[in-house]
Amino acid sequence: MRNEAGRQMKNVLVTGANGFIGKELIRVLANNGYSVRATVRRAESALPSGDTLTWFVTNDLANQENFSMLNGVDAVVQLAGRAHVLKETATDPLAVFRMVNTAGTLNLARQAAAVGVRRFVFISSIGVNGAFTRAGECFTEQSPPAPHNPYAISKWEAEQGLLEISRETGIEVVILRPPLIYGPGVKANFLQLLKWVESGWPLPLGGIQNRRSFLFLGNFVDAIRLCIEHPAAAGQTFLVDDGEPVSTPELIRAVAYAMGRSARLLAVPGGVLGLAGALLGKRAAVAQLTGSLLIDSSAIRSRLGWTPPYSLQQGLDATVAALKRA
């Protein structure tokens, strides 16, 4: 596939390549004929290089001045950044997020534009739109931004800076905002949910009537690969999900099905759950389990012709299978 200038986009730089998304992305790209340059922060995190994969160490994107790995690159996928921190220790979290996610991204983009990189794909977050949606509503690309925490603010500011760099230099920017991503190797709250279901203990979530959008890792990597190449992706912001929103009880039943067992759910009022979360210091985790976050990903489907290659259940099956192997 070629971009608007007719140039094949086969030389790709992937930053943060040893992360949850990066590992799968570089595997898929290398297996599909791309020449991949992958960056990590520490040399010991790199995998062996090969004919289609070369590793570089970049530990400070915000202040680095020589990005030699950009020479000859057609497209950059910017995954590197500071993600959600469960136990924040920084005295000024926003400043740290801005340094890594905003300044680091914009420095890399400027350097990429300077050496003739054609396209810059930025992995942002649905948090730019907000933390929750109200009943009957969903986020779209036209929804007003409402970043709700330092992480989301840093992503939003990076988006705005990238669009300005694009206007100044002509580099094609593509922005992707995913919701919670699950798949083999998932961690944090989703992994905890898997372990709860696996334990067989009854979960007090049977009465929750929310709707949440999720995104399987395999689907996201497929969408990223399309956005590297597709001419119509240039200059666009896309929301991406599986297209199968579910309630928390429905998600638990699907996970239990993948594990070959029955879900054990108790109907506890949401107010009681909220109070318990506040008392236990788990307010955010409870809100994620009980609240709604619904997105409309029809834009990427209609403009790029993208269809998720995996269903929600297939994604959960793969996630559970990986958990059992581990």
pLDDT in tens, 74-130: 999 999 988 866 566 778 889 999 999 999 999 999 999 999 999 999 999 999 999
Closest-CA residue to 221 (of 21, 18, 10, 20): 21
Give the pLDDT confidence score for residue 326 in this predicted structure: 84
What 3-state class would DSSP assign to 256? Answer: helix
pLDDT in tens, 238-296: 999 999 999 999 999 999 999 999 999 999 887 778 777 676 677 777 788 889 999 99
Q: How far apart are CA 44 and CA 41, in angstroms?
A: 9
Give the pLDDT confidence score for residue 296 in this predicted structure: 97
pLDDT in tens, 38-89: 998 776 666 666 667 787 878 788 888 778 899 999 999 999 988 866 566 7
Give the pLDDT confidence score for residue 93 in this predicted structure: 87
Cα radius of gyration rounded to whole Å, the chain: 20
Give the pLDDT confidence score for residue 42 in this predicted structure: 73
Closest-CA residue to 38 (of 21, 4, 15): 15
pLDDT in tens, 161-185: 999 999 999 999 999 999 999 999 9
* The one catalytic residue among 34, 151, 257, 310: 151
Give the pLDDT confidence score for residue 49 in this predicted structure: 64
Helices (H), the chain: 20-31, 93-97, 104-114, 150-169, 188-199, 217-229, 248-258, 270-279, 283-290, 298-304, 312-325
Average confidence (pLDDT) over 292-312: 98
- For 172, phi then psi, to 5°, come to -80, 125
Q: How far apart are CA 178 and CA 129, in angstroms?
A: 11
Measured between its terminal Cα atoms, the distance across the chain in Å is 37
Q: What is the DSSP letter of 131?
A: S
Are 61 and 257 in contact by the 8 Å Cβ rule? The answer is no
Give the pLDDT confidence score for residue 191 in this predicted structure: 94
Element (H, E) at 37: strand 35-40
Give the pLDDT confidence score for residue 87 in this predicted structure: 65
Q: 6 pLDDT exceeds 80?
A: no
Are 69 and 17 in contact by the 8 Å Cβ rule? The answer is no
Angle among Cα 121, 311, 234 to the nearest 5 degrees reads 20
- The token pair at 165 is 């760099």
Average confidence (pLDDT) over 204-223: 96
Closest-CA residue to 38 (of 2, 60, 3, 11): 11
Average confidence (pLDDT) over 297-319: 98
Give the pLDDT confidence score for residue 197 in this predicted structure: 95
Count of Cβ atoms closer than 10 Å to residue 28 Cβ: 16
Transcribe 168-236 into DSSP letters. HH--EEEEEE--EEESTT--HHHHHHHHHHHHT--BTTTT----B-EEEHHHHHHHHHHHHH-GGGTT-
State the greatest distance between any 2 C-alpha atoms of the chain, in Å, as a whole number: 59
Name the one residue in this structure whose structure tokens are 């995954």: 79
Burial of 287 (0-12, 13-18, 19+ CB in 10 A): middle
Q: 134 pLDDT exceeds 70?
A: yes
Cα 241 from chain centroid (whole Å): 10
Q: How far apart are CA 300 and CA 241, in angstroms?
A: 10
Q: How far apart are CA 50 and CA 36, in angstroms?
A: 10
Count of Cβ atoms closer than 10 Å to residue 96 Cβ: 17
151 tagged catalytic: yes
Give the pLDDT confidence score for residue 48 in this predicted structure: 61
